[in-house]
Amino acid sequence: MSLRLLLIKVTMIAMLRTFFVAGDAAIGDASFDENYNVTWGDDHVLFLNQGREVRLLLDETSGAGFTSKSYYGSGYFHMKIKLPANDSGGLVTAFYLYLNSSVHDKLVHDELDFEFLGNRPDKPIILQTNVFTNGVGNRERRFSLWFDPTADFHYYKILWNHHQIVFFVDDIPIRVFKNNIIKGVGYPNRTMQVVVSLWDGSNWATDGGQVKADYSNGPFEAHFQDFNIHGCLSPLTKPNNNCFSQDYWWNAENYWILNSHQQKAYEFVTKTYMIYNYCTDGIGRRKPKDYQECFV
């Protein structure tokens, strides 16, 4: 290991020891059936450890996915994930919050994404985050990770309140999306559902679609644990206007901004591991100037 990599590893370990999200203390041991339903690929889903671990399988016939039984209007959402090993080029493993519905005859689409983009052996899996609000996405930020996400389980978390959305890897904040509605920037504030899936994204996921899934190396397996959800219930038919109340711990004032330790970690990760940022690189026909949040 080079001296630079060693120093990075030591720094990350030191940071991890100083970070936590208070709600983690409340994480329990819910089984899958308490909060989730399988939504597709039933015969590609295996329940382990009395429903406290789920394996999704992807082969040439199908992938699989599951969603939360309920919808939420704010919260702290997390999943422990171990990604498919071997040659995973073209594969997408996803954990996200999602709303795509018609409200007053208008199509509404909000979304908060963790998407893991598979790759060829000896090349890193890329973690892509994205934010959709009012139907507008293309807000990708991509990261290489400081560990092998196929070797063991790691936590991936989304904190969502009325002030900020924070994406965490374990306890390290890697992305922050602030509520700047007052400055004309859209912000996800509608009811969303938790969605998890493993599927073939060969048309775009790896090297812009140049690498296709190679099923001779399959079937591919992704594993998931910790099916607890800390969120404010908010049905689609009758949204809960109280979901940004400080009665919920994730809405408390100390979760409106990153604390000083988290801010240092955030700056370190974005400088060291972020490999693509829509605010500086643009995407397709959309350029950074099209996204007002990049300048506030």
Catalytic positions:
111, 115
Q: Of the candidates 114, 127, 139, which has an alpha carbon nearest to the alpha carbon of residue 88?
A: 127
Q: How far is CA 153 from CA 80, 148, 167, 203, in A?
A: 6, 10, 17, 27
Q: Of the candidates 217, 209, 200, which has an alpha carbon nearest to the alpha carbon of residue 87?
A: 217
Output the CA torsion 77→173→269→175 (10° steps). 70
Output the CA torsion 262→268→271→276 (10° steps). -50
Which two tokens mark 225? 């644990």
DSSP summary character for residue 279: H
Phi, psi (deg, nearest 5) at residue 264: -65, -40
